[in-house]
Amino acid sequence: MDAHIIERIIALIGAIVVALFALKALREEWPKKNLDDHVTKIMMGLLTIGCLIVIIVAIGFAGRA
């Protein structure tokens, strides 16, 4: 197995794990109304979007030259 395939598998697994925890934290923060809670919601949303981008690249739908 080539090194780039192993790296993609590791990135895919890591992105899935991080995205699941970010979505769980976002779900827990959702009913809160303070300013710092809104910042946390934005950060968790952006983290999830970043994980989705990594998943798309790791699967091979994007990022190939």
Other Cβ atoms less than 10 A from the Cβ of 40: the count is 16
pLDDT at residue 63, rounded to an integer: 76
> In this model, does residue 18 exceed pLDDT 80?
yes
> In this model, does residue 4 exceed pLDDT 60?
yes
6 burial class (0-12, 13-18, 19+ CB within 10 angstroms)? exposed
Q: How far apart are CA 14 and CA 37, in angstroms?
A: 25
pLDDT at residue 8, rounded to an integer: 93
Residue 1: band (very low, low, confident or very high) from pLDDT cuts 50, 70, 90 = confident
Residue 65: band (very low, low, confident or very high) from pLDDT cuts 50, 70, 90 = low
Q: What is the mean pLDDT of residues 1-22?
A: 94
